[in-house]
């Protein structure tokens, strides 16, 4: 395998951070969770930033942080809203493959219910179903590879993605 990075995209609750740590180990890459980068940059939990800034300003701030981060030899677990920025997605795709972790809406709702403090970039009045419908075509458009994350463990998902990356 010779790529400088692998980026994971998908909805909040899809498993990007969990699968990302495992995948980074399998591929020998550094791991970065962009939601954590934003939390450090802003000095507050992600949801506080979303609430304080509002949706549009949060997405613009997310773009600024991600445009400056290093990508060389990184496994990047992105925030779910990253696909709203063509600039970020072009940068991630130039650095290596983008993998979409697919999860159905009912499974996402169940996962998010168990983590109600999870930061999610909602516009006023939006529901998780609204975001899912809006983002799904973007995830599919930007993905070099898509994998369902419902039928197997995070470890198995990471292994399947690692096998795909190595076979490229």
pTM over 0.85: yes
Q: Which residues contact 20 (CB under 8 A, 6 or more apart)?
A: 8, 31, 33, 75, 76, 77
Break the chain into its structural domains and give their ranges: 5-167
Sheet with 5-9: strands ordered across = 30-33, 74-77, 5-9, 98-102, 145-148
Buried b (16+ CB within 10 A) or exposed e, 61-94: bbbebbeeeebebbbbbbbbbbbbbeebbebbee
DSSP secondary structure letter of residue 122:
P
* 161 contacts 99 by C-beta, under 8 angstroms: yes
Handedness of CA 37, 38, 40, 44 (dihedral sign): negative
Per-residue confidence in pLDDT tens, the chain, 168 aa? 456 899 999 998 899 999 999 999 999 999 999 999 999 989 998 888 888 998 889 989 999 989 999 999 999 999 989 999 999 999 999 999 999 999 999 998 888 876 656 667 666 788 889 999 999 999 999 999 999 998 899 999 999 999 999 998
The token pair at 74 is 């990184």
User: Exposed, middle or buried by CB within 10 Å (0-12, 13-18, 19+), for 137?
Assistant: exposed
CATH code of the region 5-167: 3.40.50.300
């Amino acid at each position: 395998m010779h790529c400088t990075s692998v980026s994971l995209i998908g909805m909040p609750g899809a498993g990007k951070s969990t699968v990302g740590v495992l995948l980074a180990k399998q591929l020998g890459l550094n791991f970065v969770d962009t939601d954590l980068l934003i939390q450090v940059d802003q000095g507050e939990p992600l949801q506080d930033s979303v609430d304080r800034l509002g949706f549009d300003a949060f997405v613009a701030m997310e773009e600024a942080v991600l445009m400056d981060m290093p990508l060389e030899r990184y496994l990047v677990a992105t925030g779910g809203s990253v696909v709203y920025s063509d600039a970020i997605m072009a940068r991630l795709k130039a650095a290596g493959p983008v993998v979409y972790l697919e999860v159905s809406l009912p499974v996402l709702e169940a996962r998010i219910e168990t983590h109600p403090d999870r930061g999610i970039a909602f516009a006023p009045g939006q529901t998780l179903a609204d975001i899912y419908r809006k983002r799904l075509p973007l995830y599919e458009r930007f993905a070099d590879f898509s994998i369902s994350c419902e039928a197997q463990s995070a470890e198995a998902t990471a292994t399947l993605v690692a096998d795909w990356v190595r076979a490229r």
